[in-house]
Amino acid sequence: MAGQTLTSTSVPEQRVCELLAPLLRSREVGDSIAPSSDDGYIFSAFEFFLPGVLREIHAEWRHESLDGIYPASFRKTGDREIELIGLALFISDQTLTPLHVRLQLSPDFDCVSWIDLKLGERIDGECRREPYGSAKASGTMLHVSNRLDSIDWYYHVGYGEQRS
């Protein structure tokens, strides 16, 4: 879908833009983003937005959603761009899986101009899921940032075109 932008902006996407814009405007490229308690709802906004992106390609996401995002790294990577690395919690069975999101907001900060979303690690053809609160899940969180290039991502969805 390179070169295309969404024709309409969903409510979850609007919420991501609304919460992300001030965080991006107040930071330099390379800065970590540690949302204050007032800004912490950005991860809740991602919980609603990311499943919608996945539903565009993967039919099983019509009956799945996220119940939490646990960032290991959240930073500004470019003009209007972020990278989020961590774990996502499936709502259906309360299990965790690796997450890597890169996205850029439009010049007006009113929509996502491009996104690269990776979720879940493929192990023996299945999406690896670790029970919430398990020691194994905690270890996965600590190491996901160091393994981004070696993870065989179960879901990988992207759209739009990166703009300068």
Break the chain into its structural domains and give their ranges.
11-160
- Is the confidence at residue 113, as pLDDT, over 90? yes
What are the backbone angles phi and psi of residue 49, rounded to the nearest 5°? -75, -50
What would the two tokens of residue 6 be? 């969404």
Is 7 a residue whose pLDDT tops 70?
Answer: no
Max avg pLDDT among 6-20, 79-93, 137-151: 79-93
Which residues on neighbouring strands pair with residue 150, listed in sequence order?
none
pLDDT recorded at residue 35: 76
Residue-level pLDDT at 3: 46
- pLDDT, residue 141, reads 64
Write down the pLDDT at residue 9. Answer: 81
Task: Give the pLDDT mean for 101-120.
Answer: 95
Q: What is the pLDDT of residue 34?
A: 85
Average pLDDT over residues 101-128: 95
Residues 6+ apart with CB under 8 A from 64: 51, 54, 90, 91, 92
> Strand pairing partners for 145?
none
Question: Rounded to whole angstroms, how far apart are CA atoms 79 and 106?
Answer: 10
**Which among 117, 114, 102 has a CA at the least distance from the CA of 154?**
117
39 band by pLDDT with thresholds 50, 70 and 90: low
